[in-house]
Amino acid sequence: MKNPIILCSRCYSTKLQLPKCNVKAPVYKGMSYEEMVSIRKRNLNPTLSTLYRKPLAFYKGSKQWLFDLDGNRYLDMFGGISTISVGHCHPKITKVLTEQSDTLGHVSNVYFHEKIHEYAKRLADTMPGNLKCVYFVNSGSEANDLALLMARAHTGKYDIFSLKNCYHGMTYQVMEMTSLSTYRFSVPGSPGIYKTTVPDVYKGVWGGSKCRDSPVQANRKCSCMGICEAGIKYIEEFKSDLNCMVSKNNLAGFWAETIQGVGGIVQFPKNYIKGVYEVVKQNGGLFVADEVQAGFGRTGDHFWGFEMHGITPDIVTMAKGIGNGFPLAAVVTTPEIAQGLGKATHFNTFGGNPLACAVGIAVLDIIEEEKLQENAKIVGTDLILDLAKLRDKYEIIGDVRGKGLMIGIELVEDKTSKKPLSPERCMDILEKCKELGLVVGKGGSYGNILRLSPPMCITKEDATFTVEVLDKAISEIA
């Protein structure tokens, strides 16, 4: 007997009606919510944090939709923390997983198997220049940790720079590169890693209304004439830090997300990354682009975020959207840099296993076949422009920024002070969005930036619903 169908139990006003969805959730018959709460207290990592005052429990997903235990439907505008790139439970991914599981589930990469070779070539073909050598791992933290080893092994140098406000992962070494106190433990950090000023054109020392590669600029005066002066000043700040902190000729590498994700969708001046890249190369270091969140077409104009900055990095790290939720990540570099790891044996048991590679290939196919990069640009641009109207309407929205479907909304006490909106009021907004059927994320040092990084299959109707819900939620809090 088929499971009976339950309809959404919530009621909405006509204006805030969820967009149509042809998927209905079967009745949930699994573990109770209360039992989950009990097990979490007893048996799970006690520091696991949840997003809401009463955590959501999901049991079904389809494309841009999530369903909770009661059958309520939600529009997922956070994409499993910027991870669901082509949609929850995409039928093509389900199909290739089933087929590959029936054929070959796992062999270590000390053996040959077809999928790792096919996928390595497919992934390398998306890269510019000589970025042709692929290492497969399982998470973004692993990818950045491996890239750190790779940079030091190749250059024979030790010192590393990253940006304040960045997030590169949680392994012991990479945690030292991460520059958000929420993700730092009070233990001695890995040595030789330094931070330079994040070039935040909204609330940093320098910035203005012409700096960002975004449909919406910071609401701030700008004196730039043809070239971004803020970018030049932030580059000079890095040069000063480099001179003060690193011994001569000992720079191994510089890390940067092409748009900061966890830090709150921070975009840099247009000329900053290219200028820093040139300084790093002049000092014999490698430039590492962290594409864990911005890659795979999410920014719309380009498949890779670094392309918007006009550079070809020495190393690229990627995860999250690469596997649409499957544990898959990669590091891509040149054959010359890859040779640095030949000084010892590098091995990863699960990296590049047949299941992961089959999923990775399917993700590339879906992005191309369904024109999801193009959709990210079209729907994302309209969404950012509509959100900018909310910024003009509400005193507590200080900034709207982003590109494609990687969008941030900075909440402040007032536009003059730019003081972060209190955690309690930010949570009130998140809770109201949840009540109305919308899932969004948060980020930044104070948790006051709403993050939108949905599956790239969302529609214009979904974007309109998102703006309407945010309008209602913010109006009640403001």
Which sequence spans correspond to the domains of the chain? 33-82+372-477, 94-369
50/400 Cα distance (integer angstroms): 25
Radius of gyration of the chain from its Cα atoms, rounded to whole angstroms: 22
> pLDDT at residue 437 above 80?
yes
Q: Can you give the length of the chain in residues? A: 478
In 258-353, where do the E strands start and end?
286-290, 315-318, 329-333
> Tokens for 445?
């040092």
Task: Name the residue with higher pLDDT: 25 or 112.
Answer: 112
Which one is the CATH code of 94-369: 1.10.3210.10, 3.20.20.240, 3.40.640.10, 3.40.50.620?
3.40.640.10
Question: How confident is the model at residue 185, as a pLDDT?
Answer: 87
- pTM of the entire predicted model: 0.95
Query: Tell me, what amino acid is at 267?
Result: Q
Is residue 454 predicted with pLDDT exceeding 80? yes
- The answer on pLDDT for 6 being more than 80 is no
The Cα–Cα gap between 82 and 77 comes to: 9
Q: What gap in Å lies between CA 83 and CA 319, rounded to an integer?
A: 8
Give the span between the Cα atoms of 146 and 138, in whole angstroms.
11
* Tokens standing for residue 303: 């498949």
Percent share of the chain, pLDDT over 70: 97
Q: What is the mean pLDDT of the chain?
A: 94
Per-residue confidence (pLDDT) for residue 287, from 0 to 100: 98
Q: Which of 57, 56, 1, 59 is nearest to 28 (CA)?
A: 59
Output the pLDDT for position 8: 45
pLDDT number for residue 11: 43
**238 pLDDT higher than 50:** yes
Give the pLDDT confidence score for residue 9 in this predicted structure: 43
Least confident range of 179-193, 202-216, 350-364: 179-193
Q: Is the pLDDT of residue 197 over 50?
A: yes
Q: Quick one: pLDDT at residue 260?
A: 98
- pLDDT of residue 406 exceeding 80, the answer is yes
Q: What is the mean pLDDT of residues 264-273?
A: 97
Instruction: Note the pLDDT of residue 176.
Output: 94
Q: d(Cα 162, Cα 183) in Å, to the nearest integer?
A: 15
The reported pLDDT for the residue numbered 184 is 87
**344-384 residue pLDDT tens:** 888 899 999 999 999 999 999 999 999 999 999 999 999 99
CB 162 within 8 A of CB 254: yes
Which range is most confident: 1-5, 186-190, 289-293? 289-293
Of 93, 111, 115, 120, give the one whose Cα is nearest residue 103. 115
Q: Is the pLDDT at 34 greater than 80, yes or no?
A: yes
CB 326 within 8 A of CB 355: yes
- Confidence (pLDDT) at 15: 58
CATH architecture label of 33-82+372-477: Alpha-Beta Complex (3.90)
